[in-house]
């Protein structure tokens, strides 16, 4: 695997029939097909298709190897973001930095990986009015393949501190190492640290949740007042945390 600082660029081929898909498990809930098909219509990409493909942990390489050459691009969600990064022939520097890839693009020299989750979190922070001018802190729920890109987006936005909330502190090691490399102060709290969580939430400029909806309910008792929330989960919506 090699790194590349540029972002992947597909080469649309007009009306030629091409395929794309989202890989993950579970995947039935994904709205990615709706979003991409609407974009194809708007761009006049007649004949392009976008589907859901079940991809349990450990199976991404086998599944992608068996896709026919009409597949030009793939979105990757849980649990395959780390596998996508390892599978790709070339990756962007930012994907390598966060250890996560949510996008695979077929190129002549193999699959190219990027992490556009960073862009997504950046845009969402702006949409909820999270202003880190002059510093500020954020609470990040989870420490996996979406949480690490969130840390990168927070650091780029100017955040000075991130509080990473997990069930088990050992799961946050990679997130803490990433935060250190980004010059972002970080500390870990458990979901059951109610008093400490309440203080972190009240002091935060924004909360970024990357955990399944049921896990977010563990924080509802610690929230005292409005928070600026970016929730990566959109089904069901609103999540208990967002409601």
Residue where one domain finishes, among candidates 115, 140, 155: 115
Q: Please give the average per-residue pLDDT across 193-206, as a whole number.
A: 92
Given the structure tokens 């090691």, which residue do they identify?
173
**100 and 31 both lie in a single domain:** yes
Number of domains in the chain: 2
**164 and 145 both lie in a single domain:** yes
Please state, in angstroms and rounded to a whole number, the distance separating the CA atoms of residues 102 and 82. Answer: 9
**153 and 76 both lie in a single domain:** no
Residue where one domain finishes, among candidates 115, 150, 172: 115
The enclosing domain of 63 has a CATH number of 3.40.50.10860
Provide long-range contacts, Cβ within 8 A and 24+ apart, for 171-174.
171/143, 171/144, 172/143, 174/99, 174/143, 174/148
Least confident of 45-49, 115-119, 137-141, 238-242: 238-242
45 within 8 A of 73, measured Cβ to Cβ: no
Q: Which domain holds residue 133?
A: 118-231
Q: Can you give the pLDDT at residue 17?
A: 76
Mean pLDDT of the chain: 91
- Say what percent of the chain tops pLDDT 70: 94
Residue 108 has which token pair?
Answer: 């002549």
How far apart, in Å, are the Cα atoms of 103 and each of 76, 81, 182, 236, 243?
6, 9, 22, 24, 30
Burial of 241 (0-12, 13-18, 19+ CB in 10 A): buried
Whether 81 sits among the annotated catalytic residues: the reply is yes
Residue 13 lies in a domain: yes
- Say what percent of the chain tops pLDDT 90: 77
Q: Please give the average per-residue pLDDT across 8-24, as a whole number.
A: 70
What's the pTM value of the predicted model, to 2 decimals?
A: 0.88
Among residues 81, 94, 106, 148, the one annotated as catalytic is 81
**91 and 127 both lie in a single domain:** no
Band of pLDDT at residue 58, cut at 50, 70 and 90: very high
């Amino acid at each position: 695997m090699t790194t590349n600082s540029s972002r992947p660029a597909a080469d649309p081929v007009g009306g030629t029939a091409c395929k794309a898909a989202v890989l993950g498990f579970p995947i039935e809930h994904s709205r990615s097909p709706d979003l991409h098909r609407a974009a194809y219509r708007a761009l006049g990409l007649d004949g392009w298709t976008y589907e859901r493909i079940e991809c349990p942990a450990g199976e991404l390489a086998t599944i992608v190897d068996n896709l026919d050459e009409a597949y030009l691009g793939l979105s990757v969600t849980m649990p395959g973001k780390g596998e996508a990064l390892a599978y790709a022939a070339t990756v962007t520097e930012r994907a390598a930095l966060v250890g996560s890839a949510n996008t695979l693009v077929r190129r002549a020299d193999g699959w190219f990986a990027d992490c556009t989750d960073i862009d997504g979190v950046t845009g969402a922070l702006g949409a909820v009015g999270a202003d880190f001018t002059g510093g500020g802190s954020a609470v990040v729920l989870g420490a996996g393949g979406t949480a690490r890109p969130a840390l990168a987006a927070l650091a780029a936005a100017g955040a000075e501190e991130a509080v990473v909330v997990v069930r088990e502190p050992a799961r946050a090691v990679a997130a803490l190492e990433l935060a250190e490399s980004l010059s972002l102060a970080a500390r870990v709290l458990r979901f059951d640290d109610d008093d400490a969580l309440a203080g972190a939430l009240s002091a935060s400029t924004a909360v970024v949740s990357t955990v399944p909806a049921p896990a977010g309910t563990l924080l509802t008792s610690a929230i005292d007042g409005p928070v600026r929330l970016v929730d990566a989960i959109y089904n069901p919506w609103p999540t208990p945390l967002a409601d």
